[in-house]
Structure 1
Amino acid sequence: MSDERPINPILKQVLELGPTLVFFLIYLRIRDETYAWNGTEYSGFIVATLVFVPILLAAMGILWALTRRLSRMQVFTAFMVVFFGGLTAWFNDERFFKMKTTIIYGIFAAILGIGLAQGRSYLQWIMGELLPMRREGWMILTRRLTALFAALAVANEVIWRTQSTDLWVKIETFAFPAVLFVFLWLQIVGLQKYLIEDGSAGKG
Protein backbone atom coordinates (compact mmCIF):
# COMPACT_ATOMS: atom_id res chain seq x y z
CA MET A 1 0.00 0.00 0.00
CA SER A 2 1.26 3.46 -0.92
CA ASP A 3 0.52 5.02 2.48
CA GLU A 4 2.42 2.36 4.44
CA ARG A 5 4.92 3.94 6.80
CA PRO A 6 8.41 2.58 7.52
CA ILE A 7 9.02 1.04 10.92
CA ASN A 8 12.08 -0.20 12.75
CA PRO A 9 12.27 -3.94 11.93
CA ILE A 10 13.14 -4.84 15.51
CA LEU A 11 10.11 -2.96 16.83
CA LYS A 12 7.97 -4.66 14.19
CA GLN A 13 9.15 -8.09 15.35
CA VAL A 14 8.48 -7.15 18.98
CA LEU A 15 4.92 -6.10 18.15
CA GLU A 16 4.28 -9.22 16.07
CA LEU A 17 5.91 -11.83 18.29
CA GLY A 18 5.80 -10.13 21.68
CA PRO A 19 2.18 -10.94 22.60
CA THR A 20 2.73 -14.68 22.15
CA LEU A 21 5.86 -14.57 24.30
CA VAL A 22 3.99 -12.58 26.95
CA PHE A 23 1.25 -15.23 26.92
CA PHE A 24 3.89 -17.90 27.42
CA LEU A 25 5.49 -16.07 30.36
CA ILE A 26 2.14 -15.34 32.00
CA TYR A 27 1.12 -18.96 31.58
CA LEU A 28 4.35 -20.16 33.21
CA ARG A 29 3.73 -17.82 36.12
CA ILE A 30 0.10 -18.75 36.84
CA ARG A 31 -0.35 -22.20 35.29
CA ASP A 32 -0.81 -23.88 38.69
CA GLU A 33 -3.17 -21.22 40.02
CA THR A 34 -6.97 -21.22 40.09
CA TYR A 35 -8.97 -18.01 40.00
CA ALA A 36 -12.58 -17.62 41.13
CA TRP A 37 -14.85 -15.00 39.63
CA ASN A 38 -18.60 -14.69 40.02
CA GLY A 39 -18.79 -18.15 41.52
CA THR A 40 -16.81 -19.84 38.70
CA GLU A 41 -13.25 -21.13 38.93
CA TYR A 42 -10.86 -20.54 36.05
CA SER A 43 -7.52 -22.23 35.47
CA GLY A 44 -4.29 -20.33 34.98
CA PHE A 45 -4.34 -21.28 31.30
CA ILE A 46 -7.71 -19.66 30.74
CA VAL A 47 -6.71 -16.52 32.63
CA ALA A 48 -3.51 -16.29 30.58
CA THR A 49 -5.63 -16.62 27.45
CA LEU A 50 -7.90 -13.79 28.56
CA VAL A 51 -4.90 -11.56 29.24
CA PHE A 52 -3.36 -12.48 25.89
CA VAL A 53 -6.32 -11.21 23.85
CA PRO A 54 -6.12 -7.50 24.79
CA ILE A 55 -2.32 -7.59 24.64
CA LEU A 56 -2.49 -8.92 21.07
CA LEU A 57 -5.09 -6.32 20.06
CA ALA A 58 -3.03 -3.52 21.64
CA ALA A 59 0.11 -4.66 19.79
CA MET A 60 -1.78 -4.79 16.50
CA GLY A 61 -3.25 -1.36 17.18
CA ILE A 62 0.22 0.06 17.76
CA LEU A 63 1.51 -1.68 14.63
CA TRP A 64 -1.31 -0.21 12.56
CA ALA A 65 -0.81 3.27 14.06
CA LEU A 66 2.89 3.15 13.17
CA THR A 67 2.62 1.58 9.71
CA ARG A 68 -0.98 2.18 8.62
CA ARG A 69 -0.99 -1.41 7.43
CA LEU A 70 -1.97 -4.85 8.71
CA SER A 71 -1.75 -7.95 6.57
CA ARG A 72 -4.87 -10.00 5.86
CA MET A 73 -3.25 -12.90 7.71
CA GLN A 74 -2.66 -10.76 10.80
CA VAL A 75 -6.27 -9.54 10.82
CA PHE A 76 -7.62 -13.06 10.36
CA THR A 77 -5.40 -14.51 13.07
CA ALA A 78 -6.40 -11.75 15.50
CA PHE A 79 -10.08 -12.43 14.79
CA MET A 80 -9.60 -16.14 15.48
CA VAL A 81 -7.74 -15.41 18.73
CA VAL A 82 -10.52 -13.11 19.92
CA PHE A 83 -13.26 -15.51 18.84
CA PHE A 84 -11.79 -18.67 20.35
CA GLY A 85 -10.46 -16.81 23.36
CA GLY A 86 -14.02 -15.67 23.98
CA LEU A 87 -15.36 -19.20 23.62
CA THR A 88 -12.68 -20.45 26.00
CA ALA A 89 -13.74 -17.97 28.65
CA TRP A 90 -17.50 -18.31 28.06
CA PHE A 91 -17.51 -22.09 28.32
CA ASN A 92 -14.56 -22.20 30.74
CA ASP A 93 -12.98 -24.80 28.47
CA GLU A 94 -9.37 -24.54 27.32
CA ARG A 95 -9.99 -26.89 24.41
CA PHE A 96 -11.46 -24.07 22.32
CA PHE A 97 -8.23 -22.06 22.41
CA LYS A 98 -6.17 -25.13 21.60
CA MET A 99 -8.42 -25.97 18.65
CA LYS A 100 -7.90 -22.44 17.31
CA THR A 101 -4.48 -23.37 15.96
CA THR A 102 -5.84 -26.42 14.14
CA ILE A 103 -8.60 -24.36 12.55
CA ILE A 104 -6.30 -21.50 11.53
CA TYR A 105 -3.81 -23.81 9.84
CA GLY A 106 -6.64 -25.85 8.35
CA ILE A 107 -8.32 -22.77 6.88
CA PHE A 108 -5.02 -21.54 5.44
CA ALA A 109 -4.47 -24.94 3.82
CA ALA A 110 -8.05 -25.00 2.48
CA ILE A 111 -7.88 -21.48 1.03
CA LEU A 112 -4.55 -22.11 -0.67
CA GLY A 113 -5.81 -25.50 -1.87
CA ILE A 114 -8.91 -23.93 -3.44
CA GLY A 115 -6.66 -21.50 -5.28
CA LEU A 116 -4.50 -24.34 -6.53
CA ALA A 117 -7.57 -26.19 -7.77
CA GLN A 118 -8.38 -23.05 -9.79
CA GLY A 119 -4.84 -22.88 -11.11
CA ARG A 120 -4.08 -19.79 -9.02
CA SER A 121 -1.80 -18.85 -6.15
CA TYR A 122 -3.63 -16.91 -3.46
CA LEU A 123 -0.29 -16.75 -1.68
CA GLN A 124 0.99 -14.50 -4.46
CA TRP A 125 -2.01 -12.22 -3.92
CA ILE A 126 -1.09 -11.91 -0.23
CA MET A 127 2.70 -11.74 -0.46
CA GLY A 128 3.42 -10.70 -4.04
CA GLU A 129 4.54 -7.20 -3.11
CA LEU A 130 6.98 -8.53 -0.52
CA LEU A 131 8.52 -11.26 -2.68
CA PRO A 132 8.56 -10.57 -6.44
CA MET A 133 8.63 -13.99 -8.08
CA ARG A 134 7.48 -15.59 -11.32
CA ARG A 135 4.20 -17.48 -11.38
CA GLU A 136 5.91 -20.88 -11.52
CA GLY A 137 7.71 -20.13 -8.27
CA TRP A 138 4.51 -19.00 -6.56
CA MET A 139 2.70 -22.17 -7.60
CA ILE A 140 5.51 -24.36 -6.24
CA LEU A 141 5.65 -22.40 -2.98
CA THR A 142 1.87 -22.47 -2.63
CA ARG A 143 1.69 -26.25 -3.07
CA ARG A 144 4.41 -26.78 -0.49
CA LEU A 145 2.94 -24.31 1.99
CA THR A 146 -0.51 -25.86 1.60
CA ALA A 147 0.96 -29.23 2.53
CA LEU A 148 2.80 -27.69 5.49
CA PHE A 149 -0.30 -25.95 6.85
CA ALA A 150 -2.27 -29.20 6.56
CA ALA A 151 0.50 -31.08 8.39
CA LEU A 152 0.65 -28.45 11.15
CA ALA A 153 -3.12 -28.62 11.58
CA VAL A 154 -2.97 -32.38 12.02
CA ALA A 155 0.04 -32.12 14.31
CA ASN A 156 -1.68 -29.55 16.54
CA GLU A 157 -4.79 -31.67 16.80
CA VAL A 158 -2.77 -34.73 17.80
CA ILE A 159 -0.62 -32.80 20.27
CA TRP A 160 -3.35 -30.99 22.20
CA ARG A 161 -5.45 -34.15 22.43
CA THR A 162 -2.65 -36.44 23.56
CA GLN A 163 -0.09 -34.29 25.37
CA SER A 164 -0.02 -32.01 28.40
CA THR A 165 -1.03 -28.35 28.29
CA ASP A 166 2.55 -27.42 29.21
CA LEU A 167 3.93 -29.19 26.16
CA TRP A 168 1.25 -27.75 23.88
CA VAL A 169 1.98 -24.19 25.03
CA LYS A 170 5.70 -24.65 24.38
CA ILE A 171 5.09 -26.11 20.93
CA GLU A 172 2.55 -23.42 20.08
CA THR A 173 4.87 -20.64 21.22
CA PHE A 174 8.18 -21.86 19.80
CA ALA A 175 8.02 -25.01 17.66
CA PHE A 176 5.27 -24.11 15.18
CA PRO A 177 6.65 -20.60 14.46
CA ALA A 178 10.16 -22.04 14.14
CA VAL A 179 8.97 -24.67 11.66
CA LEU A 180 7.25 -21.99 9.56
CA PHE A 181 10.29 -19.71 9.67
CA VAL A 182 12.75 -22.44 8.68
CA PHE A 183 10.39 -23.74 5.99
CA LEU A 184 9.93 -20.31 4.40
CA TRP A 185 13.65 -19.57 4.58
CA LEU A 186 14.48 -22.86 2.87
CA GLN A 187 11.86 -22.20 0.19
CA ILE A 188 13.16 -18.72 -0.55
CA VAL A 189 16.68 -20.12 -0.88
CA GLY A 190 15.49 -23.02 -3.02
CA LEU A 191 13.32 -20.88 -5.30
CA GLN A 192 15.97 -18.25 -6.07
CA LYS A 193 15.82 -18.97 -9.79
CA TYR A 194 12.19 -17.82 -9.87
CA LEU A 195 12.81 -14.46 -8.17
CA ILE A 196 12.34 -11.32 -10.25
CA GLU A 197 15.22 -8.91 -9.95
CA ASP A 198 13.40 -5.79 -11.13
CA GLY A 199 10.60 -6.20 -8.54
CA SER A 200 7.79 -6.70 -11.05
CA ALA A 201 5.92 -9.94 -10.40
CA GLY A 202 3.75 -11.64 -12.95
CA LYS A 203 0.05 -12.00 -12.44
CA GLY A 204 -1.12 -15.25 -10.79
Structure 2
Amino acid sequence: MIGIVNYGAGNIFSLTAALERQNIAYGMVNTEADLGNYSHIIIPGVGHAGAAMKKLEQTGLVNAIKALKKPVLGICVGMQLITQHSEEGDANLLNIIPLNTKLFDKELGIKIPHMGWNTVEFKNNLLFKDVSLGTQFYFVHSYFIEYNPIFDIASVNYGNKFSAAIQKDNFYGVQFHPEKSGEAGERLLKNFSNLSS
Protein backbone atom coordinates (compact mmCIF):
# COMPACT_ATOMS: atom_id res chain seq x y z
CA MET A 1 0.00 0.00 0.00
CA ILE A 2 1.32 3.42 -0.98
CA GLY A 3 1.41 6.36 1.40
CA ILE A 4 1.32 9.81 -0.24
CA VAL A 5 3.09 12.51 1.75
CA ASN A 6 0.41 15.17 2.13
CA TYR A 7 2.27 18.42 2.76
CA GLY A 8 0.26 20.83 0.64
CA ALA A 9 2.64 20.93 -2.32
CA GLY A 10 1.31 18.24 -4.60
CA ASN A 11 -1.24 17.79 -7.35
CA ILE A 12 -2.54 14.77 -5.49
CA PHE A 13 -5.76 14.26 -7.46
CA SER A 14 -4.00 13.27 -10.71
CA LEU A 15 -1.76 10.89 -8.78
CA THR A 16 -4.56 9.21 -6.85
CA ALA A 17 -6.61 8.85 -10.05
CA ALA A 18 -3.67 7.09 -11.75
CA LEU A 19 -3.19 4.78 -8.75
CA GLU A 20 -6.90 3.94 -8.77
CA ARG A 21 -6.74 3.03 -12.47
CA GLN A 22 -3.99 0.54 -11.60
CA ASN A 23 -5.92 -0.79 -8.57
CA ILE A 24 -3.09 0.31 -6.28
CA ALA A 25 -4.23 0.95 -2.71
CA TYR A 26 -3.10 4.22 -1.16
CA GLY A 27 -3.61 6.57 1.75
CA MET A 28 -2.31 9.89 3.03
CA VAL A 29 0.71 10.51 5.24
CA ASN A 30 0.05 13.51 7.47
CA THR A 31 2.15 12.58 10.52
CA GLU A 32 5.27 10.57 11.29
CA ALA A 33 3.11 7.79 12.74
CA ASP A 34 1.33 7.45 9.38
CA LEU A 35 4.57 6.39 7.66
CA GLY A 36 4.40 3.04 9.41
CA ASN A 37 1.05 2.21 7.79
CA TYR A 38 2.47 1.89 4.26
CA SER A 39 4.95 -0.32 2.42
CA HIS A 40 5.84 2.37 -0.16
CA ILE A 41 5.95 6.18 0.07
CA ILE A 42 5.43 8.80 -2.67
CA ILE A 43 6.49 12.44 -2.27
CA PRO A 44 4.51 14.40 -4.88
CA GLY A 45 5.24 17.99 -5.75
CA VAL A 46 4.25 20.86 -7.99
CA GLY A 47 5.58 24.39 -7.89
CA HIS A 48 8.49 25.93 -6.01
CA ALA A 49 11.16 23.70 -4.43
CA GLY A 50 12.10 26.17 -1.69
CA ALA A 51 8.47 26.69 -0.66
CA ALA A 52 7.82 22.93 -0.86
CA MET A 53 10.77 22.25 1.46
CA LYS A 54 9.43 24.77 3.99
CA LYS A 55 6.02 23.07 3.91
CA LEU A 56 7.65 19.67 4.36
CA GLU A 57 9.66 20.97 7.34
CA GLN A 58 6.43 22.25 8.92
CA THR A 59 5.02 18.71 8.91
CA GLY A 60 7.86 17.46 11.11
CA LEU A 61 8.38 14.56 8.68
CA VAL A 62 11.86 15.44 7.37
CA ASN A 63 14.00 13.23 9.62
CA ALA A 64 11.51 10.37 9.46
CA ILE A 65 11.52 10.43 5.63
CA LYS A 66 15.33 10.50 5.52
CA ALA A 67 15.44 7.45 7.80
CA LEU A 68 13.04 5.34 5.69
CA LYS A 69 14.23 1.94 4.45
CA LYS A 70 11.13 1.21 2.37
CA PRO A 71 10.83 2.31 -1.29
CA VAL A 72 10.32 6.07 -1.67
CA LEU A 73 9.46 7.85 -4.94
CA GLY A 74 9.72 11.61 -5.43
CA ILE A 75 7.75 13.03 -8.38
CA CYS A 76 8.75 16.33 -10.06
CA VAL A 77 9.38 18.77 -7.17
CA GLY A 78 9.25 15.68 -4.95
CA MET A 79 12.28 14.37 -6.86
CA GLN A 80 14.04 17.70 -6.46
CA LEU A 81 13.39 17.59 -2.71
CA ILE A 82 15.52 14.46 -2.31
CA THR A 83 18.55 16.27 -3.79
CA GLN A 84 20.86 18.43 -1.68
CA HIS A 85 20.19 21.95 -2.97
CA SER A 86 17.98 23.90 -5.37
CA GLU A 87 18.73 27.19 -7.08
CA GLU A 88 14.98 27.81 -6.75
CA GLY A 89 14.83 29.85 -3.57
CA ASP A 90 18.52 28.96 -2.86
CA ALA A 91 17.11 26.15 -0.73
CA ASN A 92 18.83 23.36 1.14
CA LEU A 93 16.77 20.22 0.60
CA LEU A 94 16.63 16.70 2.09
CA ASN A 95 20.16 15.86 0.84
CA ILE A 96 19.36 12.17 0.40
CA ILE A 97 21.01 12.12 -3.03
CA PRO A 98 24.02 14.48 -3.34
CA LEU A 99 22.94 16.29 -6.51
CA ASN A 100 21.90 19.86 -7.27
CA THR A 101 18.71 21.22 -8.82
CA LYS A 102 19.45 24.02 -11.30
CA LEU A 103 17.60 26.53 -13.46
CA PHE A 104 17.53 25.89 -17.19
CA ASP A 105 19.86 28.20 -19.11
CA LYS A 106 17.89 30.61 -21.30
CA GLU A 107 21.06 31.12 -23.35
CA LEU A 108 20.48 27.65 -24.83
CA GLY A 109 17.51 29.07 -26.76
CA ILE A 110 14.95 26.81 -25.09
CA LYS A 111 11.51 27.64 -23.75
CA ILE A 112 11.22 27.72 -19.98
CA PRO A 113 9.38 25.99 -18.42
CA HIS A 114 10.15 22.73 -20.19
CA MET A 115 6.63 21.54 -20.89
CA GLY A 116 5.41 18.57 -22.91
CA TRP A 117 6.37 15.09 -23.99
CA ASN A 118 10.01 14.01 -24.24
CA THR A 119 11.73 10.72 -25.00
CA VAL A 120 13.43 9.32 -21.92
CA GLU A 121 16.54 7.15 -22.19
CA PHE A 122 16.49 4.77 -19.26
CA LYS A 123 18.81 2.15 -17.87
CA ASN A 124 17.91 -1.42 -16.95
CA ASN A 125 16.08 -0.67 -13.71
CA LEU A 126 13.02 -2.28 -12.11
CA LEU A 127 11.26 1.10 -12.14
CA PHE A 128 11.17 0.90 -15.95
CA LYS A 129 10.31 -2.80 -16.23
CA ASP A 130 8.16 -3.49 -19.33
CA VAL A 131 8.40 0.15 -20.47
CA SER A 132 9.33 0.26 -24.17
CA LEU A 133 12.55 1.92 -25.30
CA GLY A 134 11.88 5.29 -26.90
CA THR A 135 8.87 5.94 -24.63
CA GLN A 136 7.90 9.54 -24.01
CA PHE A 137 6.89 10.94 -20.62
CA TYR A 138 5.20 14.24 -19.76
CA PHE A 139 7.31 17.02 -18.22
CA VAL A 140 6.52 20.45 -16.82
CA HIS A 141 9.36 22.16 -14.92
CA SER A 142 11.77 25.11 -14.98
CA TYR A 143 14.51 23.49 -12.89
CA PHE A 144 16.40 20.29 -13.59
CA ILE A 145 18.64 17.87 -11.71
CA GLU A 146 22.22 17.73 -12.90
CA TYR A 147 23.19 14.56 -14.73
CA ASN A 148 25.39 12.21 -12.72
CA PRO A 149 26.01 8.64 -13.96
CA ILE A 150 26.28 7.32 -10.41
CA PHE A 151 22.67 8.12 -9.52
CA ASP A 152 21.07 8.56 -12.95
CA ILE A 153 18.69 5.79 -14.06
CA ALA A 154 17.11 7.80 -16.90
CA SER A 155 18.09 10.93 -18.79
CA VAL A 156 16.56 13.34 -21.27
CA ASN A 157 17.89 16.08 -23.54
CA TYR A 158 16.33 19.53 -23.42
CA GLY A 159 18.96 22.15 -24.12
CA ASN A 160 21.37 19.90 -22.25
CA LYS A 161 21.33 16.39 -20.83
CA PHE A 162 19.80 16.10 -17.38
CA SER A 163 18.41 13.40 -15.11
CA ALA A 164 14.86 12.30 -15.78
CA ALA A 165 15.09 9.69 -13.01
CA ILE A 166 17.54 8.99 -10.19
CA GLN A 167 18.07 6.33 -7.56
CA LYS A 168 20.12 5.88 -4.40
CA ASP A 169 19.34 2.76 -2.39
CA ASN A 170 15.57 2.76 -1.69
CA PHE A 171 15.06 6.36 -2.83
CA TYR A 172 13.87 7.03 -6.39
CA GLY A 173 12.94 10.23 -8.16
CA VAL A 174 11.34 11.05 -11.50
CA GLN A 175 11.32 14.56 -12.96
CA PHE A 176 8.41 13.79 -15.30
CA HIS A 177 4.82 13.20 -14.17
CA PRO A 178 4.02 9.48 -14.45
CA GLU A 179 0.43 10.21 -13.44
CA LYS A 180 0.08 12.36 -16.59
CA SER A 181 2.14 10.11 -18.89
CA GLY A 182 -0.51 7.65 -19.99
CA GLU A 183 0.04 3.92 -20.06
CA ALA A 184 3.83 4.07 -19.60
CA GLY A 185 3.51 6.33 -16.57
CA GLU A 186 0.96 4.05 -14.96
CA ARG A 187 3.22 1.07 -15.66
CA LEU A 188 6.02 2.91 -13.82
CA LEU A 189 3.74 3.53 -10.82
CA LYS A 190 2.78 -0.15 -10.83
CA ASN A 191 6.46 -1.11 -10.99
CA PHE A 192 7.18 1.15 -8.02
CA SER A 193 4.36 -0.44 -6.03
CA ASN A 194 5.92 -3.86 -6.72
CA LEU A 195 9.42 -2.95 -5.50
CA SER A 196 10.48 -4.91 -2.45
CA SER A 197 11.86 -3.21 0.64
The TM-score with structure 2 as length reference comes to 0.31
Q: Please give the TM-score of this superposition, normalised by the length of structure 1.
A: 0.30
Specify which structure has the higher proportion of helix.
1
Q: By percentage of residues, which structure has more strand?
A: 2
- Which structure has the greater CA radius of gyration? 1
